[in-house]
Chains A and B, each alone.
Chain A
């Protein structure tokens, strides 16, 4: 089902809304946010210079560093009294990034998440278990409000205590799961350990996964554990932009539909900052055109994707972004080769006999980088031949995909760390 008529507008209609809202936003931040005014002045721009959507590319970028430099409320465009909610990122490196919402922002957020939840198959009949961590992180509460708005029954179980999560799923008849893909797999593993087969003993038919990228191989893995009839869609967002709800996949799973009446997407070359044509891979840049508290303009997401404006089979006309292929700052440079962890994940998941968990270790040995991949055996064997075939397959496929030699370490099941939030699968020891 399509939630809002804005998802099916013609290109001309959508662009009309975008231009109107862009002009209004630029004028407002110029007037109310001093660091913005300074950025624009430095670029020799005034609000009236923005006359068409193509003028967007003349505006300066905003980065996470700008948010940190203006911690906590320096980029806000409304007085603090107007805020209804404050969220913050974990801030593992440096100060956390702080975001705020007015009443209007909360309504827009709810609307956006309702749209993507609907696109992912959610209805008022669903029992939605939200296994994202509640708290300062936007994921849980974002999905919470959006799904509630649709009329679904919410089970706000948060993360942790996986056995109890499974018990709730069984006893409450959960039909929809919100989690990171890696936590969804972990939950299936825990269920099996309890003698509960997620395919037959649970009724979870919809997975709305996010906060981590979903590769095709990971989606296959989800089906393997949760059942082929589960509709697994990924959705996208980040707290700086709003939280979840920026975009999400529909049942055709051919890219995530962007809520374009609220967000204008661009793809740039991460090195030069130059805007790239439709279809090319690059860094996603998002301009918020209907945010009151924190209207970021040309925010560099660091996420690597590409866009298409072709009409989708589902009937939506909104721009779609491909499932992320990585983050520009997750990219590892190993012996001069650009490596995205997602490429390694695809390989690991394609080899028979291995579980879906892995760890990537990069070390410096002498003057050269050494890449080690730790993987878990999913099937027991008594044969060295089988073990060699498994590690050999990973090694050969990595050589084909990356052109790099890696050391493969086979591990016993359940050896590698499991994650409830974003998975941390890379250990880069070269920095030390």
Chain B
């Protein structure tokens, strides 16, 4: 099961990140997790939010280049080796990870957000192994 990630292109200019966050705040969008990757000239801000569609529309209206991407949000046991065990499962089947970042929602829960080019296969492997992936609804509930 997949979830939607909100992706935004931002120029490396002072105040640009703040503008994105301002738009989301104005539209009452709650952010659960962020990842900011950058080059010298620009960056991509990736967000897990309670309402990704509304977030994308608000950002596009505000003049940003923004889109939704399908990602996997996988629940990982909060123990040493927890992440590796999960990743090994998919690596065995030659599914590679484009990028990933963490998501915590308090308590003992931990999750990772994964972007892969083999989304259906990865989903199937995880489902077979009985590993929980979070959906759109789960995320909305967390917020």
A residues adjacent to B (C-beta < 8 A): 377, 379-384, 387, 391, 409-415
Contact = CB atoms under 8 A, between A and B. Distances in A.
Nearest to B67: A380
B79 interface: no
Interface of B: 5, 7, 9-11, 37, 39, 41-42, 44, 46, 60, 63-67, 69, 98, 115
A382 B67 CA distance: 7
A377 B67 CA distance: 12
Contact of A409 (B41, B46, B65, B69): B41
Given A413-B63, A415-B63, A382 B69 contact: yes
19 contacts: A377-B65, A380-B60, A381-B9, A381-B65, A382-B5, A382-B7, A382-B44, A382-B69, A382-B115, A384-B37, A384-B39, A384-B44, A410-B9, A410-B11, A411-B11, A412-B9, A412-B10, A412-B63, A413-B63
A415 B42 CA distance: 14
A414 B63 CA distance: 6
Contacts of B37: 384
Contacts of A383: 98
A377 B7 CA distance: 14
B53 to A, nearest CB: 14
A387 B42 contact: yes
B102 to A, nearest CB: 18
A381 B8 CA distance: 8
Given A382-B69, A409-B11, 15 more contacts: A377-B65, A380-B60, A381-B65, A382-B5, A384-B39, A387-B9, A391-B41, A410-B42, A412-B9, A412-B10, A412-B63, A412-B64, A412-B65, A413-B64, A413-B65
Contacts of B44: 382, 384, 387
A381 B11 contact: no
A384 B60 CA distance: 19
A380 B66 contact: yes
Contacts of B5: 382
A149 B42 CA distance: 53
A381 B60 CA distance: 13
Contacts of B64: 412-413
Given A384-B37, A384-B44, A412 B67 contact: no
Contact of A380 (B9, B41, B46, B63): B9
Given A382-B67, A382-B69, A384-B39, A412 B7 contact: no
Nearest to A409: B41
Contacts of A380: 7, 9, 60, 65-67
A198 to B, nearest CB: 20
Nearest to A374: B11
A377 B39 contact: no
Nearest to A376: B65
A380 B10 CA distance: 11
Nearest to B12: A409
A413 B11 CA distance: 11
Nearest to A414: B63
Contacts of B69: 382
Contacts of A413: 63-65
Most buried by B among A379, A382, A409, A415: A382
B63 A381 contact: no
A329 B66 CA distance: 39
A379 B65 CA distance: 7
Nearest to B68: A382
A380 B57 CA distance: 12
Nearest to A378: B65
B21 to A, nearest CB: 15
A363 to B, nearest CB: 16
B132 to A, nearest CB: 24
Most buried by A among B5, B65, B66: B65
A387 to B, nearest CB: 7
A352 to B, nearest CB: 15
B7 to A, nearest CB: 4
Given A381-B67, A382-B44, A382-B69, A412 B39 contact: no
B20 to A, nearest CB: 10
A382 B60 CA distance: 14
Contacts of B60: 380
Closest 9 CB pairs of A and B: A380-B67, A382-B7, A382-B69, A414-B63, A377-B65, A380-B65, A412-B65, A412-B64, A410-B42
Contacts of A381: 7, 9, 65, 67
Nearest to B117: A383
A382 B6 CA distance: 9
A377 B64 CA distance: 9
Contacts of A377: 9, 65
A102 B37 CA distance: 66
A260 to B, nearest CB: 48
B41 A410 contact: yes
Contacts of A391: 41
Most buried by A among B9, B11, B37, B46: B9
Contacts of A411: 11
